[in-house]
Structure 1
């Protein structure tokens, strides 16, 4: 089943690292992250921070190249797919070792994928289509589906709620032993201080050139340390002073300040993605779609984006889930539903819907400062519309825990990169926090997921977006560019939605 690329090569988000032929081995880099990851089990979380750290430790059968095409990683090649689209035969690479020295084989893959469909939100998404996973021989796995499921390989490639491969005897829930096949392995974790990864000498990279997340993964560094630095302004000052070698998620207003530094240089990922307000459709005030529509009617996307990103150099207003350079771009459902900024009309709509003054609980974090700034603007517009607002500002790890509890929130604020396959969008799964589970969701999402023809899938995605605007499981606010910073002494690190450091080296 041919999958059309999600966007043009000229606008690829990931750029192949431009490594020198004589990259030096050795050294340690310190990476400042937005906080402490809630877990190191990438199956158990959709938090980007978890994926950023753990993609160095664990690997999946497939991954994405610089153009977001799925490519093999632990698999030897792309799967052989039967004519009816229901059987995937996957050959595994030979000679792959886990961090404990054991060899990877098909029984490890079967056990891991069975754990994935139980533990991971995206695994649960695939589970409805899955019949069985079997080990055909020590180096071959067969996945049998109940019906065709076009997003399967993309789901298997994604590092978020990831289908990582673990030893068959290390399948505990929750994870106890952090044993993967990645180029780096866990040495030590000190909560709120650092996560220390060291080179895995038993690692066998793929042959060929590095290509986005695909291709060869080089181990030039001895060690990578991920250090939580929750305050955005502290990250900026640490960047300018040269305290860290890579600094994630820099506020855009600090761009010129970072650019003027002698120690670091800014990295801009353009376009990166979009901030979203996710609604709790299962419990609380926002369970009523009429209330969700009134909330949307009240809000100014333009004012929220301006507060969060300042200059239009860093943001754009766009109600389409995907911008125009993506094959998935459509304006279905957008007209009359985006950037309305009508608190007076929203007040009337809320009254007609029976709003009784209960607080709208907005869950956000200052570790992503732009989330917090959008929440502040949203709160003022909602108050103008007569809503009572309870803004709960917590650290990101707490937010990811609270959003799993249906009784604790009405809106949480997050963001997403533009994903190569729309089925990867977490809110499309009824098990994802927000719990959108209606007949319209089932009809549109399942039709889109089951269709193997690439051109037909584009039209079916328009139906999904229209359903999202009709029922509002989440609201897209706009498009934005992401800014980070890296030391001028570090080579081999390029802008990427989930920055990776297996190709990084330090100038001597």
Structure 2
């Protein structure tokens, strides 16, 4: 299976372009209604208004892959498993408990009783299996990578059998027991069931509003009535309306929710594409909070009395190296020279927010399989020059790509980061040809198609699994690093597959530690740079926000004081 890991919770470029166009057109009109959507105060009840960076694509999370859509849908939907607030640790969701067979292929989930979907129908084991079967039986446009990205990435193929699938079947022997069978063991299970696309939806509503009726239309898609107006889950908020002209999504508290009810009555998302405008709207009282404030603004936001919360870093930014176009980059010594050339300590201090750390491998130390004894590359320009000379690459010239019109949790200032790294490379004699592309206007496409020699990119983890990081990056040789150019590329992919399929946790972690050691010594397909703690800001009237290292907040704990 070919992986296309462009995520930062935003995968489908064509669909993002459409959303960005809509969002851009809204900027002026949104600024004019600063006060109209600010929630009334009053503890229990009231309205919490959040400034979203982009418009959602749709409200059916299975067909989505972008963070702005998920920010809305995770308020309405829930999965069999969830993540503990403030962590990446799995906890019960719609399943109270689960157990695995010794071979890791059969998973038995005990579902919660007394839970109802927003349409009043029962959540039960049969509903779980119907959701799995819906995902597995996608046809036509539903199998498009842009729509079923997370299924393809995590489960592989569909029922037509053209590509092998991790999923084998689901049975409901009684209303409170769902048995999911896999074709092999995987370290991803059951954690992936907490991802937004795999949240459980009402089978009745899916059928009534023809949720699978999605059609390709040129470079975009036409979605069903369900995806546009009738999302139906079990979560703490229900869908009320989406005024696309004003860029306003309204949700209402689910008073029939099975768990603790939301503290606010109404949840509003206002689409405000420009980060500076979001800051101004917070200051003016037009919104109650927004995500990923510019690190340069954090001190001023705090001085103004706002509550700036910095999440624990659960991401990686790296200097990518593509081996396809420049034969010199296929030489390990050249890649090691690049690693020694970059002053990562200075990069973190000068360009990253408070709390950022230098990355020593391709995921944070909180993820399983982290190895403490990997080879490290200190900032050593003379060593870099020596390695380039030994490789016959003292005259190395590279096309170095960096993205514009974007801020990512792991990359808050792309231009500044690019300039810092490029200057380090020039100091060791590398000729740098800068190439900039808009994030949604060519950057991710060209990087994924291995057109860049060097590039800046990263990843925010979905869950605590090495496969979600290095398996996504290097699990196939047809990747943006073009590891098929190296004799170890296929072997690395096979090692990752074997580690992911190992059911014994201790043995699996040891396998990943060994892979991490090889990645940093024998392979070095890219240069890990940093882990960055992304911030989220709310006004001083907001209480109860629980920041998530996965950037996956649910706002049911939020209240408005005043």
Distance across 1 between alignment mates of 2:407 and 2:264: 28
Structure 1 residue 148 corresponds to structure 2 residue 185: yes
Distance across 1 between alignment mates of 2:425 and 2:531: 22
Structure 1 counterpart of 2:217: none
Return closer, same or farther for 1:418/1:101 CA change in 2, 3 Å cut-off.
closer
Structure 2 counterpart of 1:439: 490
Structure 1 counterpart of 2:28: none
Structure 2 counterpart of 1:334: 375
Does the 8 Å contact 1:371/1:414 carry over to 2? Answer: no
How far the C-alpha of 1:139 sits from its partner, in A, is 4.3
- How many pairs were matched up? 465
Match of 2:292 among 249, 252, 267: 249
Distance across 2 between alignment mates of 1:244 and 1:380: 40
Does the 8 Å contact 1:286/1:292 carry over to 2? Answer: no
Match of 1:481 among 530, 533, 557: 533
Structure 2 counterpart of 1:503: 557
Which runs of structure 2 are paired with 1:46-61 in the superposition (5 Å)? 46-61=65-80
Which runs of structure 2 are paired with 1:85-484 in the superposition (5 Å)? 85-114=104-133, 116=135, 119-121=148-150, 123-127=152-156, 130-137=166-173, 138-159=175-196, 162-166=197-201, 167=203, 169=207, 170-173=211-214, 176=224, 177-178=226-227, 179-181=231-233, 182-190=235-243, 194-199=247-252, 201=254, 203-206=256-259, 216=260, 218-262=261-305, 264-269=306-311, 271-277=312-318, 279=320, 289-290=330-331, 295-309=338-352, 313-323=354-364, 328-336=369-377, 344=385, 348=389, 352=393, 359-368=399-408, 369-382=412-425, 385-394=430-439, 398=441, 402=445, 406=449, 411-416=455-460, 419-425=463-469, 426-430=472-476, 438-469=489-520, 470-472=522-524, 474-484=526-536
RMSD: 3.8
1:47-77 per-residue CA deviation (whole Å, 9 max, x = no partner) reads: 44443332113221111114543222122x2
Distance across 2 between alignment mates of 1:84 and 1:459: 18
For the residue of structure 2 that corresponds to 1:427, the secondary structure is helix
TM-score (norm 2): 0.70
Which runs of structure 2 are paired with 1:17-56 in the superposition (5 Å)? 24-37=43-56, 40-44=59-63, 46-56=65-75
Distance across 2 between alignment mates of 1:284 and 1:391: 18
Distance across 1 between alignment mates of 2:132 and 2:415: 37
Distance across 2 between alignment mates of 1:287 and 1:185: 55
Distance across 1 between alignment mates of 2:256 and 2:479: 34
Does the 8 Å contact 2:404/2:436 carry over to 1? Answer: yes
Any stretches of 5+ residues in structure 2 without a counterpart?
1-41, 137-142, 157-163, 215-220
Return closer, same or farther for 1:96/1:35 CA change in 2, 3 Å cut-off.
same
How far the C-alpha of 1:419 sits from its partner, in A, is 4.3
For the residue of structure 1 that corresponds to 2:72, the secondary structure is helix
Structure 1 counterpart of 2:159: none
How far the C-alpha of 1:88 sits from its partner, in A, is 0.9
Distance across 1 between alignment mates of 2:71 and 2:242: 15
How far the C-alpha of 1:42 sits from its partner, in A, is 3.9
Distance across 2 between alignment mates of 1:415 and 1:286: 27
Does the 8 Å contact 1:148/1:451 carry over to 2? Answer: yes
Does the 8 Å contact 1:29/1:225 carry over to 2? Answer: yes
How far the C-alpha of 1:172 sits from its partner, in A, is 4.4
How far the C-alpha of 1:322 sits from its partner, in A, is 4.8
Which one has the bigger helix percentage?
A: 2
1:328-348 per-residue CA deviation (whole Å, 9 max, x = no partner) reads: 432454323x65567745765
How far the C-alpha of 1:87 sits from its partner, in A, is 0.9
Distance across 2 between alignment mates of 1:62 and 1:39: 23
How far the C-alpha of 1:364 sits from its partner, in A, is 4.6
Which structure has the bigger radius of gyration? 2
Distance across 2 between alignment mates of 1:366 and 1:453: 41
How far the C-alpha of 1:386 sits from its partner, in A, is 1.1
Select between 283-292 and 437-446 the one with higher mean Cα deviation.
Answer: 283-292
How far the C-alpha of 1:46 sits from its partner, in A, is 4.9
For the residue of structure 2 that corresponds to 1:447, the secondary structure is helix
Any stretches of 5+ residues in structure 1 without a counterpart?
1-22, 207-215
TM-score (norm 1): 0.77
Distance across 2 between alignment mates of 1:223 and 1:204: 14
